[in-house]
Amino acid sequence: MQYEIKGTPLPVVICNVGAGESIYTEKGGMSWMTPNMQMSTNAGGSFGKAMSRMFSGESMFQNIYTAQGTPGQIAFASSFPGEILAMDVSQGAVIAQKSAFLAAEMSVNMSIHFQRKLGSGFFGGEGFIMQKFEGSGMVFLEIDGSVITYDLQAGQSMLVDTGYLAAMTEGVSIDIESVKGIGNKLFGGEGFFNTKVTGPGRVWLQTMPASAIAAAIDPFITTAK
């Protein structure tokens, strides 16, 4: 499969697939395609896998598109201003925020990733459940805003505000760290906790989480009412 990512601030990934090749996406993820792309909808395996997708922020069902007879083309557009990350999971598993998934080759396995520490799940801002992608081939993820990448060495950490962690490699661990000082907690506007990511591994941070946009426009919506 060959692909090209175009457009800002609402990008689209255009995939050129060979005859007989398939790609899967979330429910309603297709934007446009050539007529020879045949769609089939299923639960993507067992009932357990379907439930795991639901808990990770996706639909229980997935759509599979296969090029019939000749090579085909299919496009998947982002649903929020930002970037589309193309990741080859052959290099190692990737953990992503809920609802990050856009599309993937059939050789990529999507499952849920549970936060191991209770504090991280309750206060880290990412929740207990994230999405995990492993196997081989390409997966395409939606990132809110622009993406900034950091390669963390073993023991090296970064403090991240709620919602700004988009994805990480499997070797990165997540914990929480309390904001120091009661005045900072109450009046600093950053909340009581930050997410702490520690290497070794790579982290992808996003500059415009959907939650931050919602909080920014909420006063105007309230005023309008």
In order of their start, the domains of the chain are: 2-224 (3.60.160.10)
Kindly provide the residue ranges of all beta strands, DSSP E only, lying in the chain, ordered along the sequence: 2-6, 12-17, 22-26, 30-33, 37-42, 62-67, 72-77, 82-88, 94-96, 101-105, 108-114, 129-135, 138-144, 147-152, 157-160, 165-169, 173-178, 193-198, 201-206
How far apart, in whole angstroms, are the C-alpha atoms of residue 173 and residue 76?
31
Compute the mean pLDDT over every residue in the chain, rounded to the nearest whole number.
85
How far apart, in whole angstroms, are the C-alpha atoms of residue 1 and residue 159?
37
For the cut 80, the answer to whether the pLDDT of residue 91 exceeds it is yes
Predicted confidence (pLDDT) per residue in 182-222, tens digit: 544 444 445 568 889 999 999 999 999 887 787 778 777 76
For the cut 70, the answer to whether the pLDDT of residue 26 exceeds it is yes
Q: What is the structure's pLDDT at 57?
A: 52
Task: Tell which phi-psi region holds residue 134, choosing left (phi > 0), alpha (psi between -120 and 50) or beta.
Answer: beta
For the cut 50, the answer to whether the pLDDT of residue 118 exceeds it is no
CB atoms within 10 A of CB 217: 10
Predicted confidence (pLDDT) per residue in 143-172, tens digit: 999 999 999 999 999 999 988 999 999 999
Q: Which residues of 64-89 are buried (b: 16+ CB within 10 A; e: fewer)?
A: ebbbeeeebbbbbbbeeebbbbebeb
Output phi, psi for 57, to 5 deg: 100, 5
- Output the pTM of the full model: 0.83
